[in-house]
Amino acid sequence: MATFRRTMADCGLIDMGFVGSPWSNKFTKERLDRGFQTTQWRSCFPYSRVLTLNPTESDHCPLLLDVSKEKLQYRKVKRLFRFEEMWHGNPDCTNIIQREWAVPSTGNALTQLCCKIKKTGQQLQQWHNREFDRQKNELRILQEKMNDIMKMPYTQEQYEEQRALHVRHSQILTQQEKYWRQRSRAIWLKDGDRNSAYFHRRASNRRSKNLIRGLVNE
């Protein structure tokens, strides 16, 4: 299965999930039949899904691929605050928490606690948005500098600069890997895989599968 998962990642294929019965084989009660997609295909048909139909004479339940590019209108729910794994160990995160927690507030103990948590979360989220954009810009600049150095003849100074750029580049990729891994829920992968593109595809697929298209009854 580990080899199969690596092959799927190398080919850029993602499991589309299912709607209906979780078992595609009615006797062994296993989900053997699946639908897969690429990121490019998902971008063309973002609201497609795999439906598990009712059992027939076959020992496998038929699957129906419902292809759809419709964009449903729905009210966007305010995102709840979640602590990001990539914040852990960052001194800026620690400073924000200490600063906001030290701000005095009024009310009873529970009211003060709720107020501190809310304000601290807001400050952390604002800092995260700025930091994430800054990292993306820095990553682009680092890549351009490393590409320029690769075209230059070898010198000791150039080698040391290249090493420093590579270390910083690796640090930023590690942070972004944690960000996308947390959203992909691909917890079976170990640290150091550095497959951000895979995590990004998993997160996008998970977001589309979690969309509620409508209610069947009351």
pLDDT at 104 (0 to 100): 87
pLDDT at 188 (0 to 100): 47
pLDDT at 47 (0 to 100): 81
pLDDT of 170 > 60? The answer is: yes
Q: Phi and psi for 195 in degrees, rounded to 5?
A: -120, 65
Residue 96's CB is within 10 A of a number of other CB atoms, namely: 18
Q: Which of 25-39, 79-93, 196-210 has the lowest mean pLDDT?
A: 196-210
- Percent of the chain residues past pLDDT 90, beyond the cut: 5
pLDDT at 95 (0 to 100): 92
User: Is this model's pTM higher than 0.85 or not?
Assistant: no
| Helix (H) or strand (E) run with residue 66 in it | strand 63-66
| Helix (H) or strand (E) run with residue 196 in it | helix 196-209
The amino acid occupying position 13 is: L
| DSSP category for residue 155 | -
pLDDT at 96 (0 to 100): 92
Token digits of residue 73: 């209108």
Euclidean distance between CA atoms 112 and 120, whole angstroms: 12
